[in-house]
Chains A and B, each alone.
Chain A
Amino acid sequence: MRAMVYRGPYRVRVEEKDMPKIEHPNDAIVRVTRAAICGSDLHLYHGIMTDLRVGHTFGHEFIGIVEQVGSSVQNLKRGDKVMVPFNIYCGSCFFCARGLWSNCSNVNPNATAVGAIYGYSHTTGGYDGGQAEYVRVPFADVGPMIIPDDIEDEDALMLTDACSTGYFGAQLADIEQGDTVVVFGAGPVGLFAAQSSWLMGAGRVIVVDHIDYRLDKARTFAHAETYNFVEYDDIVVEMKKTTDNVGADRVIDAVGAEADGSLLQHATGAKLKLQGGSPIALNWAIDSARKGGTVSVMGVYGPVPSAIKFGDAVNKGLTLRMNQAPVKRQWPRLFEHIRNGYLKPSDIITHRIPLDEIAEGYHMFSSKLDNCIKTVVIPPSAA
Chain B
Amino acid sequence: MESHCLKRPTRRQFLSSVAFAALAGSAGGAVARSISGEPPWQSGAADPPIQVRPGGWMFFTADEVSTMEAVVDRLIPADELSIGGREAGCVLYLDRQLAGSYGASARLYTAGPFLPGLPTQGYQNAETPDQRYRLGIASLNAWTRDNKDGKRFAELSGDDQDAVLKDLEAGKIELPNKVNAKAFFNLMLSGAMEGFFADPIYGGNKDMASWRMLGFPGARYDYRDHVSKHNQPYPLPPVSIAGSTEWMSR
Whether both chains belong to one complex is answered with no
